[in-house]
Amino acid sequence: MDRDALAAVPEAAPQPAAPADGTRKGSFRALRSRPFRLYFAGQVISSSGTFLQQTAIGWLVLKLTGSASSLGLVLAVGGLPSLLFGPWGGTIADRVDLRKLLVITQSLFGLLAATLWVLAAEGSASVRLVVTVNVIGGFVQIVDSPARQAFVSRLVPGDDLASAVSLNGVVMNSARVVGPALAGVLIVTVGTTPCFAVNALSYLAVVAALLAIHPVNTQSRPARRGGGVREGLRYARGRQQLWLPLLMMSIVGLLAFNFAVILPVLARTTFHGDGGTYGLLSTMLSLGSVVGSLGVGFIHHPRRPYLLAASLAFAICLAATAAAPNVALACVALGVTGAAAFSFVTLASTTLQLHSSPEYRGRIMALWVFVYIGTTPIGTILTGWITAAGGPRTSLLVGAGACLVAAGLAARVHTPPNPDVSLTDLAH
C-alpha cells in the first residue's frame, strides 16, 4: 500500500474483544455477533421470498410467451438500471446511514411484491406487469445491493469479516434452495400468484431485523472524497486484487450465470417436465451453492489461485451438466455446479471487501453489483438467443467457455502477496 492510500484509511474505531483464547475459527464464527445474527435471520426469510418470486416469474413468463428468447428479454429489463446507473449506487451507500437506507429499500421491494400479488390476483398478470415491476425493482437494487454488501462489515469484528461475507453468501444461496423448492410446490398446487404474496410478506422479517440492529462498528462516517464513481474506478484500477475479480466476474457473469433462462427451458423442452421439474433443478443448483459458499467461510484470506481453481471447476461442471442425459444426472451435475459457481462468487466478493478501504467499499461493491447483476440484460438476451437457436445444452457449454477465459486471465495476472488494507482497518 502506498503512502497516500494508507493515509486515506480512517482511524480505527474500538473493536469488540476477541475470545479469550485469541482464536476465531470456523465458517460460522461471525454468528457470535448478535447484530449479524439478526441480520442473517431476516435476510434468510426475505431472500427466500425473493427467489420464490423469481422462480414463479420465470415460469409465468415462459407460460405466457412460450419462448426462451422472450423470457431472456423480460428478465433482462430488470438489470437495465444496474447496467446504466449501477456504479452510482455505491456513491450513495458511501454517504448515508446504511441501516436507514436498507429499511427504505427493503420496504420498497415489499411494496413491489405486494403490487404484483394484488394485480395477479385480479387476473391482470401479464408480461407488461412483470416488466414494470422488474424495472422499478432494478432501480431500487442500484442502492440496495452495495448497501447490503457494505453493511455486513458493520456487524462483526474485523477478524470475522471473511466469515460474515461467506455467511452472507450462504444467506442468498440458502434462499436459492428454499425459494425455488417452495415455488415448485406452490406452482403445481395453487399457481404462481401465491408466490408473490409470500414474497411480499417475507420483507416484514428483514425490516423488523434492521430496526432491531445496533451495529457493532459505529465509526464516524468516512470523509467524503471528491470524484464519486470516477474516484472509485481510479481506486479499483490501481489494485490488482480489486480489478482482477471484477474483470473475471464480468466475463463469467455475462455468459455463465444465466440459469434463470436456461433451467426453465431445460426442464420443459429437454426433459419434458413441468414446474416441479424446474423447481427440482433449481433446488439442486441451490443446494450446491450453499455448500460452496459455506466452504469459503473456512478461508481467512482468499487468494488468486483459489479464484483460478473455482473458475476452472465451474467450467468443468457446466460442461458436465450440458452432457447429462436425464433429470437425475442433471440434478447431480447441477449440485456440483452450484458449489463451484458460488465458491467463485463468494471468493470474489470476499476478496473485494478484504482489499477495499471503508470509504471506498460502497463504490467497490457497487462495481461488483454492476458486473454481477448489470451484465444480466446483455447476458440473458444473448443466452436467450443461444438457447432458442441451439438449445439449453449449447448455452451451458458457452458458459463453460467463458469460465475458461476467466481462469486463463487469473493465470496470467499476478497479484501482490499482501492485502492493501489490514483486517483490523477493514472492519471500520
**341 dihedral zone (left: phi>0; alpha: psi -120 to 50; beta):** alpha
- CA-closest candidate to residue 377, choices 229, 263, 253: 253
Residue 72 and residue 259 in contact, taking contact as beta carbons nearer than 8 Å = no
pLDDT digits (tens, 9 = 90+) for 215-254: 655 444 444 544 567 777 888 887 888 889 999 999 998 9
pLDDT digits (tens, 9 = 90+) for 345-399: 888 887 887 777 777 777 887 788 778 876 777 888 899 899 989 999 999 999 9
Cell of 237: 484500477
What CATH number has the domain spanning 33-215+227-426?
A: 1.20.1250.20
Tell me which range, 58-62, 165-169, 283-287, 335-339, is most confidently predicted by mean pLDDT. Answer: 335-339
Report the pLDDT value the prediction gives residue 20, as an integer from 0 to 100: 40
Report the pLDDT value the prediction gives residue 417, as an integer from 0 to 100: 54
Distance between CA atoms of residues 88 and 232, nearest Å: 10
Residue 235 and residue 364 in contact, taking contact as beta carbons nearer than 8 Å = yes
Distances (CA, A) of 143 to 112, 167, 279, 342: 16, 21, 30, 23
Report the pLDDT value the prediction gives residue 217, as an integer from 0 to 100: 55
Report the pLDDT value the prediction gives residue 27, as an integer from 0 to 100: 63
- CA-closest candidate to residue 387, choices 251, 249, 263, 254: 263
Report the pLDDT value the prediction gives residue 42, as an integer from 0 to 100: 86
pLDDT digits (tens, 9 = 90+) for 85-94: 777 777 777 7
Residue 102 and residue 147 in contact, taking contact as beta carbons nearer than 8 Å = yes
Cell of 56: 414463479
- CA-closest candidate to residue 416, choices 299, 307, 312, 303: 303
Q: Report which residue type is found at 44.
A: V
pLDDT digits (tens, 9 = 90+) for 221-231: 444 544 567 77
Cell of 334: 447441477
Taking CA 53 as the corner, what is the angle to CA 49 and CA 56, rounded to the nearest 5 degrees?
140
Report the pLDDT value the prediction gives residue 337, as an integer from 0 to 100: 95
pLDDT digits (tens, 9 = 90+) for 167-205: 777 777 677 667 777 887 888 888 888 888 999 999 998
What does the pLDDT average to over 106-111? 94
Report the pLDDT value the prediction gives residue 68, as an integer from 0 to 100: 67
| 207 against 26, higher pLDDT | 207
Residue 309 has pLDDT above 80, yes or no: yes
Residue 96 and residue 106 in contact, taking contact as beta carbons nearer than 8 Å = no
pTM: 0.68
Residue 9 has pLDDT above 50, yes or no: no
Q: At 268, phi and psi to the nearest 5?
A: -85, -45
Residue 68 and residue 394 in contact, taking contact as beta carbons nearer than 8 Å = no
Burial status of residue 126 (CB atoms within 10 A of its CB: 0-12, 13-18, 19 or more): middle
| 157 against 274, higher pLDDT | 274
Report the pLDDT value the prediction gives residue 317, as an integer from 0 to 100: 96
Residue 236 and residue 246 in contact, taking contact as beta carbons nearer than 8 Å = yes
